[in-house]
Structure formats: C-alpha cells, structure tokens
Amino acid sequence: MSRRNPVPSCRVGARHPHVGWIASAATRLASLSLASRGLAALVGGVVLVAGIHSLPDAEASASPASSSGETTRYNILFVILDDVGADQFRLTNPIGAGLASTPTCDAIADQGVTFTNFWTMPECSPSRTCFFTGRYPMRTNVGSPLTPATLAQSQCSPFEVTTPRILEPAGYRTALFGKFHLAQNENNPAGFGAPASLGFDHFDGTMLGGPPFIDTTVFGQVAEGTYSCGYPTLPDGGTTTGACGFENGDCVAGLDAVDCLAMGGVPLVSPDGSVVTDCDGFDPGSIDWCNKNAYYAWPRTVNIDGKVFPPTSGSCGDGVSTPDRIYCDGQQATLATEFILDARADGVPWMCTLSFTGDHDPWQMPPAELLPEGSGWPEGVAMDCEDLDAQRILSNLIIESMDFQVRNLLLQTGLATLEKGELVVTAPDTAIVVVGDNGSFLNTVRLPFNPLRAKATCWQTGVLAPMIVAGGPTMLPGRTVGEMVNCVDLFELWGELAGIDVRAEVPPARILDSAPVLPYLNDASAVPSREHNFSEYLEPELDTICYPCVISAGGDGKGGTQICTDTILSSKELCEAQGGVWYGPGGDYCSGEDCPATCCDLKDEGVAISKILFASQRTITDGRWKLVQNDLEACDESDCEFELYDLPDCPFADELFGRGIDNDGLAGCNKMRPNCQPPIEPEALEAYLRLRKELEALRASAAPCVGDIDLDGEVGPSDLSAMLGWWGQSSTADLNNDGTTDGADLPLLLANWGVCTP
C-alpha cells in the first residue's frame, strides 16, 4: 500500500466580470449583524431578499434564448446535494421506505427529466472535480475525499480548465456557494485562495468536506460529551427553550435552542448541564466563541474578484478565525438567491452553483423556519445525535430542508411560481440541474440499496445518484431517461447550455471523458451518448500515515459488520466522527510507534475485522454487464480482484429501472465463480473479457507524464518555471510526493524533458 506524500499551488484568478456585486467581502461580512444574520437564517432569505430586491420582469432578466442567427445560451442553476444517493429519492428508489419528502424536487422532475442511470464517483471530491473538469480521477488524481492530510497531488490542479474558466470569457457571471472540496487550504500554496486558483473567482462557503465536528460542550459551558447534538435536548424528544446569549452581550430569554443557534447565539446551560431560563448575570466571557459546532458554527471562506477572505473575521489565536455562527445551508441559499437576482437585474447570463453542506454528517436539526410545514422532530423520540435511528431522522429532515430551500430560491428569483399551491417552473431561459454527488453514507442508506456497499465504494449504492433537470431547453417534461450518464458529462452540459464547444476550449493534451447530455433534454428518442459508464476510487497522497479506523455498520460500535479503512479517515477526530474506533496514536489501542500502520497489521494482531475497504476500486459497465476491479490487500483472502454482475439479474432490477443492486453471493448476479475464476457461461465470459479489455485501455490512456506540471502534454520550460515558483512548498510540482517541492524533484522533471509519450 502506498504511503506517499504530495501538495498543490496557487494562481489568483482574474477580476470578476461584475465589479460591484459587493463593495468588498470584508464590508459584507462586517455588515452581517446578529439581527440580520438571524433573520436570514430563520427565514431562508425570504424576507431579507424580498426587502432588498424587486424581481426583474422577463424583459429585464437575462434571457439567453437566441435571436435569429445567434447561439442559444441558457442560465444555469446547479444544485448539489451532499451524500444524497439514489436510495434517498422516491424518483430513483420507488420502493424505498421511510424516505424524506421532497415535493420541490418532485415538481422539478414532473416538469423536467429524471435520469435513473446517473453515475458519480464514490466520494465527493472526485465527483465535484468531474463536474467542473470533465475528466476522470485517473487523469486529475483527485480520487478520494480531501482531508487536511491530503497533499497537492491529490487535489485539483490549478492548471485544469474548469467550467468558470470557459464560461466567464463568454460573458457569463459565475459563482459557487457552499461546499467547495475540489481543493483545500491545507497543503496548498493557494491557501484559502484555492477556489480562485481554479478559476472560481466568486466563491462564498466552506473549504471543509462537511460540517465541523459537533461541539458537545455547547461552546465550553459543560463537559465534553454532555450534549451529543451540540445543543440541549429534551429526554422525550425535541430541543429545550431557554436563554440565548450573544457575543456582544445581548441575551434573549425564551428561545428554542436550535433557533438560538440559527440567530448566531448560544443556548445557555449551567455547568451541571441544566438549561438556563433567564438572562440574569449573563457574561459573554463565559462562552468559548471560537468553538465550531457542525452546521451552526463553521469556518467561512470568501474569494471575490481576486481577494481572499479566510474564515470570517476576528481571531481565535494563532491566526485561526472565529467561525460563522449561522445555519450554513440557509445562509448559502440566501447568498445564491441574491447573486441570481443581481445577475438577472443586470441582464447577463449566469451560472450559480448552490453546493449544500447537507446531507453530510455530523447531522444536526435544521431550524424550524427552514423546514416545510408538517416536517419536524417526531414526538416521543429522544434526539441523540450519536444514535443511528436519530441520525436517520436527522438525515431526512436535512434533505427536506434542502428541498424547501430550493423551493424558496426558485420562487424568490422568479424561476418558479405557485399556482393553486403547486410549484410551477417558469424558467425558459434557465436550466435547473439538481444532483447528488455520490452514494449515501453507510447507516443512512435506504433499502433495498446496500449500506455495506455504499459511499466510498464502486458498487451501485456508492455511485448511483439522483439527477433531475428542468427549464431551459427541456422538452416533453415528466420523462425518465435510463441511458448511461456520468458526472463528467455535466462539464459538457455546461458548455452545451452556454453554446460553447468544450473540446475546442480544453487543450488536446488534457483528455476529456465527458459525453453530451443536451440531446436527452430536448429529444425523447435521443441516440445514447455513451457505450460505457465508469467510476473509480483512488488511494490519496497524504502527508501522514493513515492509521486503521474500524467502523461498525449496523451495530453500536461493538456489533455489526466491522469495516476497516486505512486510506480515508486520516485522523482520530475524523474516524470517531464517523462512529469509528481509531487504532492510531492518541487512541486507546496503542501509543506512538507500536500502532498498526495498516488494516492488515491490525488483523494480524487479532482484531476482528469483517471487511477491509479497498484502497482503490474501479468499475465499468456497458449498461447491462458491470465489471468491478478491486485492489486487494495482502491479507484479504475473502475477496476477488474482479467481480462481474449481470445487472438485470440482480435483486430488485424490476423495481429499479431494469438494473438491480450488485450484491455479492446472490445466484444469478455475480457471474464470477467462487474461486475468483472467470465465468463459464459463454455470454458472461464474453462480457468479462470485453469489459476487462475496455477497462485496461481506459487506464492505459491515463498513463502519467511525470513532470508535466502544467498539463500541456510535454515537460518543458513552463513546468520548470512552475516548479521554481513553488520551491520549498507543497505543490503539484512535488514529483516525489514527499510534501516539499525541492531539489529531489528537479532531476525527475529533467529526466522526462520533452513530449510525453504513452
């Protein structure tokens, strides 16, 4: 198993085409008073935005529909639902039980197109990089979720041609609000300017892969572990009502604990954990305002017009900024709404990406004002955020909140109206695209999908996600499309909607893997764009050893299936936040150098492990046959390198649009023989050999060109210049992956001088 080390680099983007959208991010952040922030959080921007903007009429808004002889260009609203797999939506899991209610997404689908065979990558960072580059992880090397330990070689390169770099020269105004996760501030010369270094000149959101950890001390008021949700809850369900303190010394009594957090305050509790009901004697100095708390206190980063504003204002020592105390998804939806209204008022084409942090763990209760009527915590059920059943309830509520916020955004921006209480999409000039970024996480998976083959795996539950499109060029609404679509294809779709040939914009040396999507939107009998679909997960380059973490699936940490990973969860905090047991330094099992470095080491020491998560995994399908290739560990005696599934013969195929769940060990599904030998049946053997050949050819097309830092197909002066510019730093020029660009990398570059050869 690889235990290597690398890092990325910075290139400040050009000035945003709409100078004056805000005077400066600093001014904007400073203007967010407690009152206005609370209002935005509680009403999702409905009152605040309506009070600032008047909705432009059809003539005033950007209307990219072409006149005679002009290319048709559409605005783009791209909504990303984090960790929401196909199992979570009735649209893509019609036999699922206990699903969230999503009337907004249902309405978009009824008036648009639902894609039932949309594949993502198994994790968020690879999928998001695919969305905006059109290139598989084997080409970008972003093949796993970014963590603080991820080096630059496993982050998106600043030399990639990303969507905003194609759209903005064509006159589009672009922005991304919410979760970024194509690159990060750690191990990156661009630091908090990483979005701008990739062409995202207007970014406002979080650089984290999900919400921060829950603060069980409620901002330092009680002992760690007291409140599992980060706020006081009632034993028989729901949250408490009490005093709410603010950093400026204000205090309001009689507020619900979650509403208090949403307003930027802290619910007050005594050292013994009891709720404080009045404001007498409130001392803001008794609160640790620097603590982060999942969805309600998180580090905000802003990149605007080449300026970078690290997480909010203020300082918590050592340059660490104070968190933004506002419900993150609500704020990001509000900012997206304001951006769209401004772009429409100015009559310019635009692309707005609203990248929700939800439904990523750790889960917390959304504010009541951001939930649809009738949605809320069930009576009589204890709200314990470490309890698996409670987590599934919270997951549903977060999905319902995101759906409700999309509804608010559509109505506020005029992209939809209400007719007799029903949402009606009114966006002939705007394509509305809603997707999940990968399969659902472990215990939140809904049947009949398989929680043991979910997020972080290449099986169906890990790569099948919802995708719905309405508005713009969509014709014959209410359709489903079962043809293969991949997350890289969205890169091509953005170009199609803008009237841009992305292949003419991306240098030939950077192979594109995307295929057209637009024909599916305006032609019910469109010819399939793909012969194969593909997904993969790659072991990341890290600056530290990723020690084993064992997660119990379907148990309480002691029972259930014990899944070990030594490639994803690179710290004790990340491991334990997933409900895992950490077997590295700082854990209870070992200390210092005696810790097992891999899952195989841990297994050799006698620790019970049911399954080792593959360091790398990939899959290819022709629509019927699906080949999975696993990179096995030396101690893995129960798995095979290859698996072959006949998807129409797999469980629940009839209910799931003709493609079942690729569970192993079920007759008629995995065609490999028990001894890992290829199938005997002629049709299955032909499919196995054919897909293996296709997979090998695809992987061969991504042969690395060591030293081609700027991705132009050759190693030359521009690469040397990039290396020298990042000297002494962790960067994409760190060719030996040791974490520093230095003299050890230079010989590798010089040895490969010239045109890259396959």
Report how far apart the first and last C-alpha atoms of the chain are (Å, whole number).
Answer: 25
Q: Is the pLDDT of residue 43 over 50?
A: no
Q: Is the pLDDT of residue 638 over 90?
A: no
Residue 27 is predicted with a pLDDT of 35
Contact status, residue 674 vs residue 680, Cβ threshold 8 Å: no
Q: What average pLDDT does the structure give for the chain?
A: 88
Q: Running DSSP on this structure, what letter comes out for residue 302?
A: E
Q: Which of 141, 728, 126 is nearest to 457 (CA)?
A: 126
pLDDT digits (tens, 9 = 90+) for 238-269: 899 999 999 999 999 999 999 999 999 999 99
Predicted structure pTM score: 0.91
- Nearest-angstrom CA–CA distance, 355 and 508: 30
Contact 324, 297 (CB under 8 A): yes
Residue-level pLDDT at 156: 98
pLDDT average, residue stretch 559-570: 86
Continuous H helices in 54-211: 103-110, 124-133, 137-140, 163-167, 194-197
**Token code pair at residue 307:** 């300026």
Taking phi first (over 0 means left), then psi (-120 to 50 degrees means alpha), and beta for anything else, what does residue 436 get? beta
The separation between CA 442 and the C-alpha centre of its own chain, rounded to angstroms, equals 16
Contact criterion met (CB below 8 Å) for 167 and 524: no
As a whole-number percent, the residues of the chain with pLDDT over 90 amount to 79
d(CA 31, CA 25): 10
Question: Does residue 38 surpass a pLDDT of 60?
Answer: no
Q: Using CA atoms, how far apart are residues 466 and 476, in angstroms rounded to an integer?
A: 19
Residue with the bigger pLDDT between 306 and 183: it is: 183
Confidence check: pLDDT of 21 > 70: no
Buried b (16+ CB within 10 A) or exposed e, 580-607: bbbbbbebebbeeeebbbbbbbbbeeeb
Q: pLDDT at residue 497 above 70?
A: yes
pLDDT given for residue 311 in this prediction: 65
Say if CB 697 and CB 690 are below 8 A apart. Answer: no
Contacts of range 716-723, beta carbons closer than 8 Å, 24 or more positions apart: 716/753, 716/754, 719/749, 720/749, 722/9, 723/749
Average pLDDT of span 192-216: 96
Alpha helices for 217-280 (secondary structure H): 257-262
pLDDT at 34 over 50: no
Averaged pLDDT for residues 500-524: 96
Average pLDDT over residues 693-708: 95
Q: What is the pLDDT of residues 59-115, one digit of tens each?
A: 334 444 444 456 789 999 999 999 999 999 999 999 999 999 999 999 999 999 999
pLDDT at 320: 61
Query: CA angle at residue 147 from 145 to 150, to 5 degrees?
Result: 90
| Sequence-ordered list of residues with C-beta below 8 angstroms from that of 219, at least 6 positions apart, any chain | 266, 287, 288, 289, 291, 293, 297
